[in-house]
Structure 1
Amino acid sequence: MSIQKIARLAGVSVATVSRVLNNSNSVKSKNRERVLEAIRESNYQPNLLARQLRTSRSSMILVMVSNIANPFCADVVKGIEEEAEKNGYRILLCNSGSDIERSKSSLGLLSGKMVDGIITMDALSNLPDLSTMIGQTPWVQCAEYADAGDVSCVGISDTEASEFAIRHLLERGCERIALINHDLSYKYAQLRERGYKTVLSQQGNSFEAIEYASELSFKAGKAAMENLLQAAAKPDAVFAVSDTLAAGAMRAIEDAGLKVPQDIAVIGFDGTELAEMVSPQLTTIEQPSRDIGRQAVSLLLRKIDNPQAPAERLMMDWRFIARASA
């Protein structure tokens, strides 16, 4: 399929098709959609190398995900891919595990100009090292963000969301609220723990029990809950920093012969599909995961078009979903 045939299918000029393929901002949105639809219908594969030689752009975005097995990360990537393809870009996915050596390997693509920009979901503690390696390449930090600096970011107010969850548990009569957290090298883990501690302190509640899961997995959440249940003063509620950890906690509670929420209420975080699959269904803080991904691409494309533009920080709305677990 040639570019000329794409133009005929879309009912536009060859020049318009070329501008869409080169991600030009001068194309009317209606014409862009017609061209992209013709491309999808015909499975057209442009010669990326030829385009790169003509435009000095690859129309590729490197996406570095800390843990693709995490349902939240997977949903964010879906949003990234949808928005990238809508704008004539494709993504290269790296499951970095927030490991700097693995990140270095993927960032080798920068030297060959194989990608036009980068979206990362790495831990905040890795940002200084990443910044050194990435240099001047357009970059957006997604979901895990910095409060200052030169990197554009998109996420939610983790502290505010966490505070809301703890207040909800206190209002329903819970007195011994535990937290299942993860790695504090992640900013979200720091902020969600801050929200937990702040509300308990404000309410004069002296009970504090925090378990740090070894990873964001069902198994790790179950193990963390088992540790909490061994304490002399068992919690009557648990707030977990991910739905996956919360699901593991619910299994541990059930295995101990206790009931959710009658004996122990449980709240998760992320609003993934898993929250509706467990029984009882999980009360959770829902992040707009796909929209976070889409907005990350929008921020990145603006940075690609204007590398000298200042960093942007976008805070998105979250939603509390009350279900049977709390």
Structure 2
Amino acid sequence: MDHTRRSTPISLVEIAEQAGVSPATVSRAFNRPELVQAGTLERIMTVAGQHGFRPNRLGSSLRSGTTRTLGLVLPTLSNPVFADCFEGAETRARESGYSVMMTVTHYDPALEAAAVHRLIDHQLDGVILTVADPRRSTVLKTLKTRGMSYVLAYNESSAHPCSAVDNYTAAADMITHLAQLGHRHIAFVSGPLGLSDRAKSRLAGSRDRARALGLEPVKHYVMPSHTRSDTAAVRRLLGGASRPSALFCSNDLLATAVMASLRELGHAVPEDVSVAGFDGIRYGAVMSPGLTTIEAPGYEIGKTACHLLLEQIAQQAPRSQQVPHRLITGASAAPHAPGKTPGHNAVHRS
């Protein structure tokens, strides 16, 4: 059989004839490949590849009234957990024959609104998004008004379908761990709470668990952003009479930035002060010292959010699903020696 390229595109019917299957099976191979047996799918794709065939997605979308494309709105990709979220969502979407169109908002509510409106204009089938605060989000109201399916990723909400860890309980677990290491003065470090409901829940969980354990009240220190440390602010928080012996940062990127500030100030981690994070980014395990953190698995959060969205698109009722968290004990948080003053190993600069 001659499989050389032709001047006119090969049709689905001709691919079906050459692959020995029905035209419906060929259509299913391109639109719902997970429903086609592996051997049959390989045979169809081989024939299509020999003729350089690619399905006309635009024409198919116009005929079916769907684009088979999902939107994904994330705060940033500089934080590896959100890159993992994209990978999980894209993998699950691809399994069902969907593509993903992604945009980032840089933790800016105004950019959130603009991003969602752009995706609506593209007539996507549904959206996965992370917002600053679901309770105050105007874009969620817009999606509801437009009748577009959506699922929140990382945000927890009783009013909206979501895929997330229990941030409150996870943060409380970290406080318990630090308390078991002998730390009684623990500070919580984050960016502005108005830009992250996750950080707000983690602070609440930290404070409530510290109170229940009889620890000193957890003080909150705000950095310029959720991923950047302010060395001067770190110097001030360690300069008071009741200096914390452990710093619990609202995410791992911030924890690594705070550790860099501590080194700049001459403090050793964990000898002078323990540091813990939240997220469980992969390179945290190979840092020196390895990072103590809460793993909030981004890949699973993204994959779960996409599965929940596809359920809605298939006319199932919107629902939420919690993803389990896990405490990772690294070397960045160590037992606190009684009577030890944080920063006793610091290099005092004139």
TM superposition score category, shorter chain reference:
0.7 to 0.9
Q: Which residue matches 2:201? A: 191
Partner of 2:260: 251
Q: 1:203 is matched with which residue: 197, 206, 213?
A: 213
**Which is further off, 132-141 or 122-131?**
122-131
2:111 pairs with 1:102: yes
Q: Offset of 1:229 from its aligned partner? A: 2.0
> Match of 1:65?
74
Using the TM superposition, give the Cα deviation of residue 154 of structure 1 relative to its aligned residue in structure 2, in angstroms. 0.5
> How far, CA to CA, are the matches of 2:175 and 2:75 in structure 1?
27
Query: 1:28 aligned to 2:62?
Result: no
Indicate if the aligned counterparts of 1:100 and 1:126 stay in contact, CA closer than 8 A. no
* Contact 1:244/1:274 (8 A) holds in 2: no
Q: Quick one: distance in 1 between partners of 2:237 and 2:54?
A: 54
State how far apart, in whole Å, the 2-side matches of 1:222 and 1:11 are: 68
Give 1:46-195 correspondences, 5 Å limit: 46-109=55-118, 112=121, 114-125=123-134, 128-134=137-143, 135=145, 136-147=147-158, 149=159, 151-185=160-194, 186-195=196-205
Alignment-mate amino acid for residue 149 of structure 2: P
Alignment gaps of 5+ in structure 1: none
Q: Secondary structure at the match of 2:82?
A: helix
Q: Contact between 2:70 and 2:125, CA under 8 Å: does it hold in 1?
A: yes
Identity %: 27
1:231, distance to aligned residue in structure 2 (A):
2.5
Q: Does 1:264 align with 2:273?
A: yes
Question: Which one-letter code corresponds to 1:88 in the other structure?
Answer: G
In the aligned structure 1, how far is the partner of 2:171 from the partner of 2:252?
A: 13
For 1:208, the aligned partner's letter is: V
Higher deviation after alignment, 273-282 or 122-131 = 122-131
Amino acid at match of 1:146: S
Which of residues 312, 317, 325 is equivalent to 1:310? 317
Tell me the CA shift for residue 216 of structure 1: 2.3
SS in 2 for 1:269: coil
Q: Where do residues 39-50 of structure 1 align in structure 2 (5 Å cutoff)? A: 42=49, 45-50=54-59
Secondary structure, in 3 states, of the residue corresponding to 2:312? Answer: helix
Q: How far apart, CA to CA, are the structure 2 residues paired with 1:95 and 1:35?
A: 36
Cα distance in 1 between the residues matched to 2:226 and 2:14: 48
Aligned-partner SS, 1:270: coil
Structure 2 alignment gaps of length 5 or more: 1-8, 334-350
Distance 2:259 2:53 in 1: 48
Contact conserved, 2:229 with 2:257, CA < 8 A, in 1?
Answer: yes
Q: Structure 1 residues 263 and 294 mapped into 2: Cα distance closer, same or farther (>3 Å)?
A: same
Q: Output the amino acid matched with 1:280.
A: P
Per mean C-alpha deviation after superposition, the further-off stretch among 77-86 and 105-114 is: 105-114
CA RMSD across the alignment: 2.8
Aligned-residue offset at 1:199: 1.3
- Are the structure 2 counterparts of residues 200 and 112 from structure 1 closer, same or farther at C-alpha, using a change threshold of 3 Å? closer
Moved more, 201-210 or 191-200: 201-210
Q: What TM-score comes out, normalization by structure 2 length? A: 0.81
Offset of residue 32 of structure 1: 10
Query: Within 1, Cα distance between the matches of 2:153 and 2:310?
Result: 14
**Distance change in 2, residues 1:255/1:102 (3 Å):** closer
TM-score between the two structures when normalised by the length of structure 1 = 0.87
Residue aligned with 2:277, SS? strand
* Partner residue, 1:285: 294
Alignment partner for residue 241 of structure 2, among 221, 232, 242? 232
Q: 1:89 to 1:10 in 2, by over 3 A?
A: farther
Task: Please state whether the residue corresponding to 1:226 is helix, strand or coil.
Answer: helix
1:320 — aligned with what?
327
Aligned residues: 318
Match of 2:340 in 1: none
| Structure with bigger gyration radius | 2
In 1, distance between residues paired with 2:264 and 2:57? 54
The 8 Å contact of residues 145 and 154 in structure 1, kept in 2 or not, is answered as: yes
